[in-house]
Amino acid sequence: MNPFNSFRFIGIGGVCLLLASGCSSFRTEIGRPAGRTAAFVEGQSRVEAVVQQLGPPESATRLPEGFAFLYEHSVIREFQLGISVNYSILRFIKFIRAWNSLDQEAILLCFDDHGILQKASSKHWKERLGGGSAAQFVLTVMSLSDVSRFLRPADAHSWGRALLEPPPVTLNSGQSLRSGEHGLRQQRIAPDYAGQHALEMAKPISEKERRRVKKDYQNQPQPPGR
């Protein structure tokens, strides 16, 4: 090959590489697929069979006529296509376009006081979580997804702490959907600032706080003895 062509080949390849810089893929999976629920028969299946097959639920609650289990599985995906231009100071900046999606599965099982399955409902769906565009430093890798709603610790961790929250939250603990005695809390994707939670007068968190949620979640202090 002509040396000039070799240089040209390398040059064009290099330009392509530089233009395509900064593609990123993010995937966050919460929980595990619950498995098949078709084997359960309303009015016949017992709670023992359910927990043996599906394991303990994501959350459980008492109901006026029995109790209920909620199982959830979430997969959040984000793909970012990034390009940069090898010109002047622009070579240090990448321009990205991001697409986000959610793959969600939820199963609700209601039992009577004797542990007999009364109602079973499940759904598996996919939806877009939105997207975005950004200009970032070429070495920055940052998700544009708002996953703060998904990355909150499970409610069971804060069960005993509910009485130490600010007064509106503490006073609401007698009816709280997170205590497991007054109904199931809503799914992770549902907003926190509507319905029964409105009594807690919590303010929607800011964009800065949303970013901190993910950071804090990943830096949880280890419990004693671990």
Nearer to other proteins (CB atom), residue 120 or residue 184: 184
Binding of other proteins at residue 95 (CB under 8 A)? no
Binding of other proteins at residue 218 (CB under 8 A)? yes
Contacts of 192 (CB under 8 A, 6+ apart): 149, 202, 204
Binding of other proteins at residue 222 (CB under 8 A)? yes
Rounded to whole angstroms, the Cα distance separating 147 from 183 reads 25
- Which range of residues in 44-52, 101-109, 122-130, 203-211 is near other proteins by CB under 8 A? 44-52
Binding of other proteins at residue 44 (CB under 8 A)? no
Rounded to whole angstroms, the Cα distance separating 140 from 68 reads 45
Minimum CB separation of residue 154 from other proteins in Å reads 6
Among 119, 124, 157, 212, binds other proteins (CB under 8 A): 157
- Which range of residues in 100-108, 119-127, 146-154, 164-172 is near other proteins by CB under 8 A? 146-154
Q: CA 187 from chain center: how many Å?
A: 10
Binding of other proteins at residue 90 (CB under 8 A)? no
Rounded to whole angstroms, the Cα distance separating 91 from 53 reads 55
DSSP string of 139-207, one letter each residue: T--------TTTSSPPGGGGTGGGGGS-HHHHHTTTT-TTSSSSSPPPPTTS-SSSGGGGGGTPPPPPH
Nearer to other proteins (CB atom), residue 94 or residue 197: 94
Nearer to other proteins (CB atom), residue 13 or residue 191: 13
Binding of other proteins at residue 47 (CB under 8 A)? yes
Look at the block and give the residue holding tokens 């598996």: 124
Rounded to whole angstroms, the Cα distance separating 147 from 136 reads 20
Rounded to whole angstroms, the Cα distance separating 98 from 171 reads 42
Among 98, 102, 110, 180, binds other proteins (CB under 8 A): 180
Number of residues that bind other proteins (CB under 8 A): 61
Look at the block and give the residue holding tokens 């990205």: 96
Nearer to other proteins (CB atom), residue 2 or residue 194: 2
Question: Where does this chain bind other proteins (CB under 8 A)?
Answer: 4, 7-8, 10-11, 13-15, 17-18, 20-32, 47-48, 51-52, 55-58, 60-62, 66-67, 86, 113, 138-139, 141, 143, 151, 153-157, 159, 179-181, 217-223, 225-226
